[in-house]
Amino acid sequence: MTHAGPRLTPLALLERLVAFDTESQKSNLALIAWVAGYLDAWGVPYVRAPNRAGDKEALFCTVGPMRDGGVVLSGHTDVVPVAGQSWSSDPFALRVADGRAYGRGAVDMKGFCALALALVPDMVAADLRTPIHILLSYDEETTCLGVADVIARLGADLPRPGAVIVGEPTDLDVADAHKSIYTYRTTVHGHEAHSAKPALGANAVMAAAELVAELNRIADRMAARGDASGRFDPPYTTVHVGTIGGGTARNILPKACEFLWEFRGLPDLARDEIPALFAAHAEVVTRERLNRFGPYGRIETEEDAAVPGLAPEPGSPAERLALRLAGRNHTITVPYATEAGRFQLAGLPTVVCGPGSIDQAHQPDEYITLAALEAGEAFLRGLIRDCAAGWSP
């Protein structure tokens, strides 16, 4: 059966994708439904993987033989919010001017998704011997969990790829490493009393201050340890407290205080090291500060998000393939986290490589240059040629 759907240029397809408001707190179902219809027209099989709430979906499609050893092109459909930003035009209506395409998600990362989808007709026509898979995810901007269900199926009821290329904007440099991100919510529970009688309660804010001071000390320890690879900027694991709040009045011992904190770890950092250091100090604060006058308080810490880092795998199939396609002779690191670490944890060779610059992401008047789109198209056309010739890992 011959299929012939609509042939759209990368720019036209990007216009379609940007028009869907897929801010991370919103559904992406309309975008996924449109992509499904587009793939149906070209006879490309796909699976849709909904989240538990049913308001978001990932999509995984395959062009070429349904077998192991192919290449995954992975991109996320969610974008960061536009609220509070001053845009020159509608962020969800692609505007092309001065060699740039402006719109929310244009570079991060609907540009890469648009390129992959726009070249589906060429993939179909190439009669690929090695499959090319396209994976569109959700919630990358919040938890990076939108790929998890599909990754769990690779090698089970879906083909297991030989390489994964996550198309975050790197100006087509090939990134083989990035830091992890682990975020936490710590709540200190105290006991209210008159501030003139501190022995009748427990001050949650002052206990929280001791915990924040400990995070400062841990941050200093990480900075002093440095980065043995010499590849990251900044060259150490970072620890950060973003928000803090508690108390009701100046003359009342605060009943509760909450703060949000994170660390961004180098790839060789054990994920439990910093939480263990923090937990040990929290036990001391609970005993010596909150409960020194009685059983008044406790400290609770919950992990909000856990995004694994990406560790270098020199000479991996993904690295060799991406370096050749991009015309590069060395790899880089990137300062932001991606979904790449989740693929790597599943044993899949993975790199980060995509068109455009991260410098334009997450800000008003986000854009990708037309030149970057052209370079990304050339990269993917090279991949099509390789897979038509039977690339293998």
Mean pLDDT of the chain: 97
Fold agreement (10-178+310-388, 181-307): no
Nearest to 22 by CA among 92, 118, 100, 114: 92
**Domain 10-178+310-388 coded CATH 1.10.10.10:** no
pLDDT tens profile 173-186: 999 999 999 999 99
* Over residues 268-277, mean pLDDT: 97
Distance (Å, rounded) from C-alpha 51 to C-alpha 49?
A: 7
Residue type, 140: E
Query: Is the Cβ–Cβ distance between 338 and 316 less than 8 Å?
Result: no
Query: Is the Cβ–Cβ distance between 92 and 80 less than 8 Å?
Result: no
* Over residues 191-200, mean pLDDT: 97
pLDDT in the model for residue 2: 59
pLDDT higher than 60, residue 102? yes
pLDDT in the model for residue 5: 78
pLDDT higher than 80, residue 189? yes
- Supply angle C-alpha 35, 349, 352, rounded to 5: 60
pLDDT tens profile 328-358: 999 999 999 999 999 999 999 999 999 999 9
Query: Is the Cβ–Cβ distance between 47 and 59 less than 8 Å?
Result: yes
pLDDT higher than 70, residue 1? no
Query: Is the Cβ–Cβ distance between 146 and 51 less than 8 Å?
Result: yes
pLDDT higher than 60, residue 237? yes
**Any alpha helices (H) in 42-145, and if so which ranges?**
110-118, 120-125
pLDDT higher than 70, residue 301? yes
Half-sphere exposure in the Cβ direction for 160 (13 Å, CA): 9
Sheet holding 181-189, edge to edge: 238-246, 256-264, 181-189, 298-307
Active site residues: 78, 140
Query: Is the Cβ–Cβ distance between 136 and 35 less than 8 Å?
Result: yes
**Domain 181-307 coded CATH 3.30.70.360:** yes
Percent of the chain with pLDDT over 70: 99
Tokens of 226: 């440095």
Kindly report whether the global pTM for this prediction surpasses the value 0.85.
yes
* Over residues 119-136, mean pLDDT: 98
Residue spans per domain, the chain: 10-178+310-388, 181-307
* Over residues 316-327, mean pLDDT: 98
Query: Is the Cβ–Cβ distance between 28 and 146 less than 8 Å?
Result: no
Tokens of 177: 């490493």
